[in-house]
């Protein structure tokens, strides 16, 4: 295929692609995101391909993540505009037959909210989707991420064509006016960063995309790279034009093989079409992007560590008193933005800064992608306008807490973020508000916790994660976190001391104030924020040896409620340590059939998960089997 | 980049208003103001690292306060710095307490913590680790030496310093810079080379590439040994030029040749010692505790490798020492002559050992004691009184195992056995000792032959320069104006060398004083018309009296040097050289007169 050389040709080719797409009267879009793949999307795709073989009227798309991971695998049929959820390969012939050939809606595959609740057919009607406003993720369910033609059909690369007709100054002004803030976590003004890079002294300028998404429970960048890789490429080329970039890099963690594959393919196509390479669209811009694979170190998401890693050195941060935008990769001016930030750029150029600022809040305009996970009914990938409240995200989009339990806390900003309580639910989500509340926006991980979560345990988990990931260069992060973790472990084991809380806070303050890089500075956040909002839980652990979430194994004991137990013996079968035994006949009273020997019990919770009668109860503080037996009535 | 004038910034540190150049760090400015900020990972010749965070200070810019590490934070205009605010002290204390938990036995940490009133830690103590992960060694090896032989391994709490792939670092040049910068003594030179007490290190030579040649050198200026200088060998380091404030280090400087026109030359080119490796029976170079007399001198010197301590290769103190005389001297296998100085210096060595190790058994194994000098015999008598054992008989062999059936082996695996024939007792003996010192003799300097050739003087059979007459002209040579002095002429001690040197100087002075030289009446002369410029005469002239005029392409004879020996006359193939008053016609006339 000859290269596209002018803006005019881009336009013509877009129309060509669009008409090619329009030739298909029916489109079936199967979510091929990581979660849906895990639920069987691969087999489903095979089934569809088999069923649709030779059918020229249907375009079958294996798209990127649709977002509603909770009910995957997802299939969307257009123009019927119906969403089928939890689809199995056996359902495929029926879908093809009824929905594709006869335009019928298959009722049993539709999404229902709650037991026998309301049925939703169209994507726009499902509350999970209807409360979102998709910009960056808008094309995810519409296009095949491996097809540049699909992207072009939906107006792809028109922003690039437009930007290249503008002066770099004008492009920069547009981004600055849009007040686009970095989606990687810090929320730094992208326009200001671009300008700093453009004006910094140096021979070569580098454009880098940070796709080293390492937060546990976060998959925003992965989903963008897998679902719409061209939007990131387009954003980066526009950035190169505005900044004067000479070469580009994307740092993708090697744990994202699918993203690597999709992005690699997109790069190849973009080069073929002339959107990368020499003299892009006859503008005189020479620019290409190299893929660099990260080795899985969390700290390499930090800019200076990322550049060292990119250079082939050990990924360790350096003191950044000369900003990395001035002295980044190879100590040359480097503009680093994350995947979502780059993906926003084409939209701003296409629709203008004014449009961008019309969503979101004054200081944090635009939308933000979150991965909503944890104890929430609807887990998945969402994109919402800034300024939306946590309550709207968790209850309207997320559908509330799983199993009708009570909300306890939400962790935003990943391991470096903070734990916010119910009283913070009405806070508008933007960069500054979350920071003030003791948490942070982060790159968009959002972990919801219910009443059965122990915040001390969560703080311990994140602290241990960060100890593992700390590079160990600076003393406060290396030594301070280790001692914080030691104290947390002690508390969860019931060996906490009254002075521990004060010590944790002092230590956390010191680590935050004295650490070298962002990892250390934000590392005490989970501990400090949870102490700030859940001090009583810490005190319960320390003073009463009680875990309010019934999680910390040293502080809980498992028992069988004789009133509920039917003696089915399911628990006895799953117990890996044989702690559950039938009670001898002579000791049976009040319906007591089985008992858990607290001395043997490993507190793995296997019995609780299988008990059909919910007869397994957890007591905290831990009590002996005899004590429970004697006081069972009061304990209930 | 273009050179721009340095911008000056105003700032306040601890209430002192001051100015600083743009790009300076807070620490640099504070050092100038003599404000003490503690550091552990900072050294001004490597890039700021910011790992220990002990140098954290409080700054205020535009009304906002922040804690920043002063080692790497650049000053800004209008900045207010507090290096000892309550907040700063609080953080430093916390950091020191964290350090104490892991490094409770590290002196530098304990001392600093103590200064801040932190003597115990509230945190769980771990077994004390020596390395504080400051990274100075890694950085000095990378940035200064350029060897990259050290690196951090693993990350987080498991981080430690090691060589690449934990093996022997091939790129290590054993310069010791890492040990030098290590603030805790975790890296020591033994760790790198493990040979502090190996006697090959005693070989006479500088311990560092930069050194003052010897204690009383004139001028007393250090020199750089280009063979061991890291910069000259690898292009790295260059630390001396950074430290030297007057900017006196010049790596570009090369050795130069200076040409001088002189009327007379005194050759005092000295000697070298006999290499005892040639006499394998003594085990030198093979047995750890066999050293030469000169190595003993090096070791016993207060600035020597052991700081003046007399020790064995393993660092322990020897309790018995044998000093073997005449090594390489008075021996038909090596040198037949007596080296003249060994008896006396051997006595001195025994005396020094007696001082350092009063209870040591000291043996002197000699052929004859030769003590002909002022006070020499008296010194010998004093040694007898000091309880040194004198055994008349040359030491013949040193071994690790006894070889004589009569010897009772000593229960120690590090003993050396010295075999000798005690001529006073009339029986062979074998002495078990801890250490053997070989009193090596004197030999002509290594390049004596070359020197003799350049100056056209003769050497004796033993290689020392030959004097004009052994009794009547001991400082003159056959070449006029060239004198010899000291051991270049033959082994002699310091008083004799001084006397001969003074005599040579006087002889040279007398020539200068006279202002003219008396020429030989009969010298050779070149007929320039006939000379073909073949240069045969230049080679044959034993006195270096003939030079070559490149312009005229003829040989020229220096009348002041020519001794009229006639070698050139006989050798000249074209018959261009004749002796004044002895040309062919004159000789023929003489012959005719004789025959008639």
Instruction: Answer whether A514 sits within 8 Å of B156, measured CB to CB.
Output: no
B301 in the same domain as B384: yes
The mean pLDDT value of chain A amounts to 92
Q: What is the mean pLDDT of residues B306-318?
A: 84
B407 in the same domain as B477: no
pLDDT given at position B265? 94
Of residues B498 and A566, the one with the higher pLDDT is: B498
B170 in the same domain as B91: no
Instruction: Show the tokens assigned to B401.
Output: 């195992």
**pLDDT per residue as tens digits for the range B33-92:** 999 999 999 998 899 999 999 999 999 988 889 899 999 999 999 999 999 999 999 999
Count the Cβ atoms, other than its own, within 10 Å of residue B546: 23
Residue B258 domain flag = no
Q: Are A127 and A113 in contact (CB under 8 A)?
A: yes
Residue B233 domain flag = no
Residue with tokens 């006029």, as numbered in its chain: B480
A267 in the same domain as A219: yes
Instruction: Show the tokens assigned to A508.
Output: 């956390």
Instruction: Answer whether A472 sits within 8 Å of B156, measured CB to CB.
Output: yes
Asked if the model's pLDDT at residue A514 lies above 50, the reply is: yes
DSSP string, A433-497: HHHHTT---TTSEEEEEETT--HHHHHHHHHHHHHHH----SHIIIIIHHHHHHHHHHHHTT---
Asked if the model's pLDDT at residue B244 lies above 60, the reply is: yes
For chain B, say whether A224 makes contact (Cβ under 8 Å). no
A176 in the same domain as A115: no
B169 in the same domain as B76: no
A328 in the same domain as A257: yes
Residue A516 domain flag = yes
Give the mutation candidate from B69, B82, B94 for the A interface (greatest A CB count, under 10 A): B94
Instruction: Show the tokens assigned to A529.
Output: 């924020």
A566 in the same domain as A463: no
pLDDT band at B195 (very low <50, low <70, confident <90, very high): very low
Residue B295's φ and ψ, nearest 5 degrees, are -65, -35
pLDDT given at position B192? 44
Q: What is the mean pLDDT of residues A332-356?
A: 96
**pLDDT per residue as tens digits for the range A12-66:** 999 999 999 999 999 999 999 999 999 999 999 999 999 998 888 899 999 999 9
**Cα–Cα distance, A170 to A189 (Å, whole number):** 17
The dihedral formed by the CA atoms of A380, A381, A385 and A388, expressed in degrees to the nearest 10: 30
Q: Are A58 and A65 in contact (CB under 8 A)?
A: no
The CATH number of residue A93's host domain is 3.40.30.10
Q: Are A183 and A368 in contact (CB under 8 A)?
A: yes
Q: What is the mean pLDDT of residues B265-278?
A: 94
Q: What is the mean pLDDT of residues B309-333?
A: 92
B180 in the same domain as B279: no
pLDDT given at position B487? 96
B161 in the same domain as B34: no
DSSP string, A300-323: GGSHHHHHHHHHTS-------SS-
pLDDT band at A628 (very low <50, low <70, confident <90, very high): confident
Instruction: Answer whether A516 sits within 8 Å of B53, measured CB to CB.
Output: yes
Instruction: Show the tokens assigned to A465.
Output: 């994660």
**Strands, DSSP E only, in B400-441?**
416-422, 427-433, 435-440
B469 in the same domain as B345: no
As to burial, measured by CB atoms within 10 angstroms (0-12 exposed, 13-18 middle, 19+ buried), residue B250 is exposed
DSSP state for residue A124 in the 8-state scheme: G
- pLDDT > 90: what percent of chain B? 59
Q: What is the mean pLDDT of residues A563-585?
A: 87
- Could you say which of A333, A357, A381 is where a domain stops? A357
Residue B217 domain flag = no
* Most confidently predicted of A184-193, B227-236, B387-396: B387-396
Asked if the model's pLDDT at residue B163 lies above 90, the reply is: no
B452 in the same domain as B437: no
> In A, which residues are within 8 Å of B124 by CB distance?
483, 486
- Could you say which of B148, B180, B199 is where a domain stops? B199
Instruction: Answer whether B124 sits within 8 Å of A507, measured CB to CB.
Output: no
- Could you say which of A357, A384, A417 is where a domain stops? A357
- Could you say which of B408, B443, B478 is where a domain stops? B443
DSSP state for residue A53 in the 8-state scheme: T
Residue B531's φ and ψ, nearest 5 degrees, are -55, 130
Cα separation values, B294 from B200, B268, B297, B369, B390, Å: 12, 20, 5, 20, 21
Structural domain harbouring B471: 446-514
> Minimal CA–CA distance to B571: which of B591, B596, B546, B592?
B546
> In B, which residues are within 8 Å of A468 by CB distance?
156
- Could you say which of A391, A423, A450 is where a domain stops? A450
B177 in the same domain as B307: no
- Tell me how close the Cα of B66 comes to any Cα of chain A, in angstroms: 8
For chain B, say whether A574 makes contact (Cβ under 8 Å). no
A182 in the same domain as A298: yes
Instruction: Answer whether A475 sits within 8 Å of B158, measured CB to CB.
Output: no
Q: Rounded to the nearest 10 degrees, what angle do helices A481-492 and A525-539 cross at?
A: 20
Which chain A residue lies closest to B41 (C-alpha atoms)?
A474
A391 in the same domain as A342: no
The CATH number of residue B417's host domain is 3.50.50.60
Instruction: Show the tokens assigned to B522.
Output: 């009969």
Residue A138 domain flag = no
As to burial, measured by CB atoms within 10 angstroms (0-12 exposed, 13-18 middle, 19+ buried), residue B71 is buried
**Cα–Cα distance, B466 to B475 (Å, whole number):** 9
Instruction: Show the tokens assigned to A460.
Output: 């311990």
> Minimal CA–CA distance to A212: which of A247, A250, A156?
A250
**Cα–Cα distance, A131 to A392 (Å, whole number):** 8
The DSSP element (H or E) to which A13 belongs, if any, is helix A7-22
The CATH number of residue B529's host domain is 3.30.70.20
Q: What is the mean pLDDT of residues B15-27?
A: 93
pLDDT given at position A632? 79
A459 in the same domain as A446: no
Cα separation values, A8 from A162, A166, A273, Å: 10, 15, 14
Give the angle B421-B422-B425 at the CA atoms, nearest 5°: 135
Q: Are A547 and A494 in contact (CB under 8 A)?
A: no
Asked if the model's pLDDT at residue B199 lies above 60, the reply is: no
B345 in the same domain as B424: yes
Q: What is the mean pLDDT of residues A310-334?
A: 87
**pLDDT per residue as tens digits for the range B531-580:** 999 999 998 988 888 999 999 999 999 988 888 888 999 999 998 999 88
pLDDT given at position B189? 65
Phi-psi region of A624 (alpha: psi -120 to 50; beta: other; left: phi over 0): beta
Instruction: Answer whether A479 sits within 8 Å of B155, measured CB to CB.
Output: no
A471, A482, A516 ranked by CB distance to B50: nearest: A516
Q: Maximum Cα–Cα distance for chain B, whole Å? A: 127
**pLDDT per residue as tens digits for the range A82-101:** 999 999 999 999 999 999 98
- Could you say which of B514, B547, B568 is where a domain stops? B514
B437 in the same domain as B339: yes
Instruction: Answer whether A515 sits within 8 Å of B53, measured CB to CB.
Output: yes
**Cα–Cα distance, A628 to A28 (Å, whole number):** 57
Domain count, chain A: 5
pLDDT given at position A114? 66
Residue A305 domain flag = yes
Give the angle B85-B91-B94 at the CA atoms, nearest 5°: 140
pLDDT band at B475 (very low <50, low <70, confident <90, very high): very high
**pLDDT per residue as tens digits for the range A576-617:** 999 998 888 777 776 778 889 888 899 998 999 899 988 899
Q: Maximum Cα–Cα distance for chain A, whole Å? A: 93
Q: Are A629 and A595 in contact (CB under 8 A)?
A: yes
pLDDT band at B196 (very low <50, low <70, confident <90, very high): very low
Task: Tell me which residues of chain B, numbers 143 to 162, contact chain A at a CB-CB cutoff of 8 Å.
Answer: 151-152, 154-159
For chain A, say whether B57 makes contact (Cβ under 8 Å). no
pTM (whole model) above 0.90:
no
- pLDDT > 70: what percent of chain A? 99
Provide the CA A293 distance to its chain's centre, in angstroms: 20
Residue B263 domain flag = no
Residue A11 domain flag = no
The CATH number of residue B33's host domain is 3.10.20.740
A287 in the same domain as A177: yes
Which chain B residue lies closest to A510 (C-alpha atoms)?
B91
Instruction: Answer whether A513 sits within 8 Å of B67, measured CB to CB.
Output: yes
Residue B242 domain flag = no
pLDDT given at position B436? 96
A422 in the same domain as A405: yes
A446 in the same domain as A459: no
Residue B425 domain flag = yes
**pLDDT per residue as tens digits for the range B214-239:** 777 888 888 888 877 878 877 777 87
> In A, which residues are within 8 Å of B82 by CB distance?
none
**pLDDT per residue as tens digits for the range A412-421:** 988 888 999 9
A82 in the same domain as A120: yes
Cα separation values, A367 from A329, A360, A434, Å: 29, 6, 15
pLDDT given at position A569? 86
Domain count, chain B: 5
Residue B38 domain flag = yes
**pLDDT per residue as tens digits for the range B103-149:** 999 999 999 999 999 999 999 889 889 999 999 999 998 888 888 88
Residue B27's SS3 state is helix
Residue B314 domain flag = yes
B101 in the same domain as B80: yes
Structural domain harbouring A590: 556-635
A309 in the same domain as A166: yes
Counted across chains A and B, CB pairs separated by less than 8 A come out at: 95
pLDDT band at B2 (very low <50, low <70, confident <90, very high): very low
- pLDDT > 90: what percent of chain A? 75
pLDDT given at position B198? 42
């Amino acid at each position: 295929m000859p290269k596209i050389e002018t803006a005019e040709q881009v336009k013509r080719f877009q129309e060509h692609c669009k008409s090619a797409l329009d030739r298909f009267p029916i489109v079936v879009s199967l979510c091929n995101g990581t979660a849906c793949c895990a639920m069987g999307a691969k087999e489903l795709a095979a089934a569809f391909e088999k069923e649709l073989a030779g059918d020229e009227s249907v375009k079958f798309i294996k798209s990127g993540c649709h977002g509603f991971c909770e009910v995957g695998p997802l299939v969307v049929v257009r123009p019927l505009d119906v969403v089928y959820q939890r689809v199995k390969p056996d359902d495929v012939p029926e879908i093809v037959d009824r929905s594709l050939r006869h335009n019928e809606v298959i009722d049993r595959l539709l999404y229902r909210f709650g037991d026998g609740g309301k049925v939703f057919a169209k994507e726009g009607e499902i509350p999970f989707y209807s409360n979102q406003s998709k910009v960056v993720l808008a094309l995810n369910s519409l296009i095949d991420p491996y097809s540049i033609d699909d992207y072009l059909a939906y107006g792809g690369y028109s922003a690039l064509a437009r930007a290249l007709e503008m002066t770099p100054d004008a492009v920069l002004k547009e981004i600055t006016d849009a007040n686009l803030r970095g989606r990687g976590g810090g929320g730094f003004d992208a326009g200001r960063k671009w300008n700093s890079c453009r004006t910094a002294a140096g021979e070569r300028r580098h454009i880098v995309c940070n796709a080293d998404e390492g937060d546990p429970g976060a998959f925003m960048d992965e989903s963008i790279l897998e679902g719409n890789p061209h939007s990131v490429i387009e954003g980066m080329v526009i950035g190169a034009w505005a900044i004067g970039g000479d070469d580009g890099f994307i740092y993708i963690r090697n744990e994202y093989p699918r993203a690597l594959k999709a992005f690699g393919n997109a790069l190849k196509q973009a080069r073929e079409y002339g959107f990368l390479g020499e003299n892009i669209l006859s503008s005189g811009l020479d620019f290409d992007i190299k893929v660099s694979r990260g080795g899985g170190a969390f700290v390499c998401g930090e800019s200076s560590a990322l550049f060292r890693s990119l250079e082939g050195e050990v990924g360790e941060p350096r003191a950044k008193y000369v900003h990395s935008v001035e002295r980044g990769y190879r100590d040359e001016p480097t503009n680093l933005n994350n995947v979502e930030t780059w993906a926003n750029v084409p939209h701003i150029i296409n629709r203008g800064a004014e449009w961008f600022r019309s969503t979101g809040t004054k200081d944090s305009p635009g939308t933000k992608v979150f991965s909503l996970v944890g104890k929430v009914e609807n887990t998945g990938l969402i994109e919402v306008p800034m300024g939306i409240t946590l309550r709207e995200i968790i209850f309207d989009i997320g559908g509330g807490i799983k199993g009708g339990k009570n909300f306890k806390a939400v962790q935003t900003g990943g391991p470096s973020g903070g734990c916010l309580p119910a009283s913070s639910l009405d806070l508008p989500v933007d960069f500054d508000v979350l920071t003030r509340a003791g948490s942070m926006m982060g790159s968009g991980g959002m972990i919801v916790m219910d009443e059965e979560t122990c915040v001390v345990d969560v703080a311990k988990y994140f602290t241990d994660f960060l100890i593992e990931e700390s590079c160990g260069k600076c003393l406060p992060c290396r030594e301070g976190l280790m001692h914080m973790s030691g104290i947390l472990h002690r508390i969860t084991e019931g060996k906490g001391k009254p002075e521990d809380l004060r010590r944790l806070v002092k230590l956390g303050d010191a680590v935050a104030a004295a650490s070298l890089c962002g990892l250390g500075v934000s590392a005490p956040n989970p501990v400090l924020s949870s102490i700030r909002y859940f001090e009583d839980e810490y005190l319960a652990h320390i003073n009463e040896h009680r875990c309010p979430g019934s999680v910390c194994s040293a502080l809980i004991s498992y028992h069988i409620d004789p009133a509920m137990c039917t003696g089915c013996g399911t628990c006895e079968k799953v117990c890996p340590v044989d702690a559950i035994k039938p009670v001898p006949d002579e000791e049976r009273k009040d319906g007591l059939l089985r008992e858990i020997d607290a001395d043997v019990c490993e507190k793995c919770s296997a019995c609780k998960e299988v008990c059909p009668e919910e007869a397994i109860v957890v007591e905290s503080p831990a009590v002996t089997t005899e004590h429970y037996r004697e006081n069972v009535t009061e304990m209930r | 980049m273009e050179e721009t004038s340095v911008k000056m910034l105003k700032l306040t540190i601890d209430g002192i208003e001051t100015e600083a150049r743009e790009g300076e760090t807070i620490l640099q400015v504070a050092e100038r103001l003599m404000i003490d900020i503690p550091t552990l990972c900072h050294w001004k010749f490597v890039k700021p690292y910011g790992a220990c965070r002990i140098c954290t200070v409080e700054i205020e810019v535009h009304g906002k306060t922040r804690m920043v590490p002063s080692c790497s934070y650049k000053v800004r205009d209008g900045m207010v710095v507090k290096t000892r605010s309550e907040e700063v002290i609080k953080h430093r204390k916390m950091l020191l307490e964290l350090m104490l938990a892991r490094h409770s036995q590290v002196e530098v940490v304990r001392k600093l913590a103590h200064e801040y009133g932190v003597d115990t830690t509230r945190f769980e103590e771990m077994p004390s680790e020596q390395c504080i992960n400051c990274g100075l060694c890694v950085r000095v090896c990378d940035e200064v030496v350029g060897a990259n032989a050290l690196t951090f391994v693993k990350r987080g709490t498991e981080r430690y310093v090691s060589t690449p792939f934990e093996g022997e670092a091939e790129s290590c040049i054993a310069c010791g810079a890492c040990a030098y910068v290590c603030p805790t003594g975790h890296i020591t030179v033994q760790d790198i080379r493990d040979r502090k007490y190996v006697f090959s290190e005693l070989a006479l030579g500088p311990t560092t590439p930069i050194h003052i040649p010897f204690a009383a050198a004139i001028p007393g200026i250090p020199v750089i040994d280009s063979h061991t200088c890291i910069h000259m060998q690898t292009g790295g380091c260059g630390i001396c030029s950074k430290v030297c404030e007057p900017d006196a280090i010049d790596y570009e400087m090369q050795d130069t040749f200076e040409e001088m026109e002189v009327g007379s030359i005194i050759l005092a080119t000295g000697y070298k010692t006999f290499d005892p490796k040639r006499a394998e029976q003594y085990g030198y170079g093979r047995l750890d505790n066999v050293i030469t007399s000169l190595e003993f001198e090096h070791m016993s010197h207060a600035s020597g490798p052991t700081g003046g301590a007399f020790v064995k290769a393993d660092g322990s103190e020897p309790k018995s020492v044998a000093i073997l005389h005449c090594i390489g001297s008075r021996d038909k296998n090596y040198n037949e002559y007596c080296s003249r100085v060994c008896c006396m210096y051997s006595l001195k060595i025994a005396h020094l050992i007696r001082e350092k190790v009063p209870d040591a058994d000291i043996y002197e194994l000699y052929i004859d004691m030769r003590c002909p000098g002022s006070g020499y015999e008296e010194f010998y008598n004093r040694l007898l009184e000091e309880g040194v054992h004198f055994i008349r008989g040359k030491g013949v062999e040193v071994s690790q195992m006894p070889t004589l059936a009569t010897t009772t082996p000593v229960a120690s695996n590090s003993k050396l056995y010295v075999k000798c024939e005690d001529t006073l007792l009339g029986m062979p003996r074998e002495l078990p000792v801890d250490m053997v010192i070989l009193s090596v003799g004197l030999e002509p300097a290594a390049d004596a032959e070359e020197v003799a050739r350049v100056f056209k003087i003769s050497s004796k059979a033993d290689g020392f320069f030959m004097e004009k007459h052994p009794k009547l002209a001991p400082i003159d040579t056959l070449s006029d104006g060239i004198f010899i002095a000291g051991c270049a002429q033959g082994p002699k001690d310091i008083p004799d060398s001084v006397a001969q040197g003074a005599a040579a100087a006087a002889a040279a002075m007398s020539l200068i004083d006279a202002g003219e030289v008396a020429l030989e009446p009969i010298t050779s002369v070149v007929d320039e018309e006939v000379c073909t410029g073949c240069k045969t005469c230049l080679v044959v002239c034993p006195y270096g009296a003939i030079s070559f005029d490149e312009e005229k392409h003829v040989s020229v004879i220096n009348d002041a040097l020519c001794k009229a020996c006639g070698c050139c006359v006989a050798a000249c193939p074209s018959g261009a050289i004749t002796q004044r008053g002895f040309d062919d016609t004159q000789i023929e006339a003489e012959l005719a007169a004789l025959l008639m």
